[in-house]
Amino acid sequence: DLISNFVLVYFRINIIIIMTDDITSEGKTTHDEKSSGLGKLESMSKEELIKVVKSQILLKKKLETKIFELTTSNTNFSQIEQELRKQIDDEQLNYSKLMIEFDENKIHQSKIEEELNVTRESLESFRLQNETLKTSCQNLRDEISNLDNKLSTVHSSFTNESQKSSSHFELLSKFISTTIECNNVGISDERSNDDVDDAFDIC
């Protein structure tokens, strides 16, 4: 009986502690609720008290299990949050690197465009020079052709003059030869005079 009474008192104390730990929506238990709970406990039998204590212990274990699960979930959530933050930091770092590369590429592209413009200007200048050279070459060809024509004309004139000079030279040689013969012989030959007259007429 002493042990039973001790167990009963122990259960009552635990029930009182558990019930006094229950709070209302405002977070505190009213005095009337405590008095009502104590009155109910006093009126309960030993078996009922044991059932209530067991149910409260079971509820407490469930609450502890739930708290442990929530704590574990919170820990997992914290780990996930840290991993996500790390991923965000890595993405921001990658984004910064990409922006730096993008700016460098823009600068490089600008330089290439400047070089391309310079090259285009050089090509245009070269094209103009080439056109000028073509025009100059054509003018030189025309001038050379004119000179060739003039040279041909001069050559033809020279050939004609040479032929005339050769004919004159032959007549002159013939005249000199005839004159020498006349002087040597001392005879006036009508035929020779006719030849001389003909020679003078030709000259």
Highest mean pLDDT among 22-31, 102-111, 155-164: 102-111
Question: Is residue 32 in a domain?
Answer: yes
Question: Is residue 135 in a domain?
Answer: no
Average pLDDT for 166-187: 68
Show which of 51, 68, 85 is a domain's final residue: 68
Question: Is residue 45 in a domain?
Answer: yes
Domain with 166, as residue range(s), is 162-202
Question: Is residue 29 in a domain?
Answer: yes
- pLDDT class of 27 with cuts at 50, 70, 90: very low
C-alpha span between 186 and 202 (Å, rounded)? 25
Q: Dump pLDDT digits (tens) for 84-98.
A: 889 899 999 999 999
CA angle 188, 193, 198 (to 5 degrees): 170
pLDDT of residue 57: 82
Question: Is residue 183 in a domain?
Answer: yes
| Residue 123 pLDDT > 80 | yes
Show which of 68, 85, 103 is a domain's final residue: 68
Domain count, the chain: 2
Show which of 14, 45, 68 is a domain's final residue: 68
135 Cβ neighbours under 8 A, 6+ residues apart? none
Question: Is residue 176 in a domain?
Answer: yes
Average pLDDT for 51-63: 82
| Residue 45 pLDDT > 90 | no
Question: Is residue 145 in a domain?
Answer: no
Query: What does 24-51 look like in DSSP terms, one character per residue?
Result: -TTSS--HHHHHHHHHHHHHS-HHHHHH
Question: Is residue 17 in a domain?
Answer: yes
> Rounded to two decimals, what is the model's pTM?
0.35
| Residue 181 pLDDT > 50 | yes
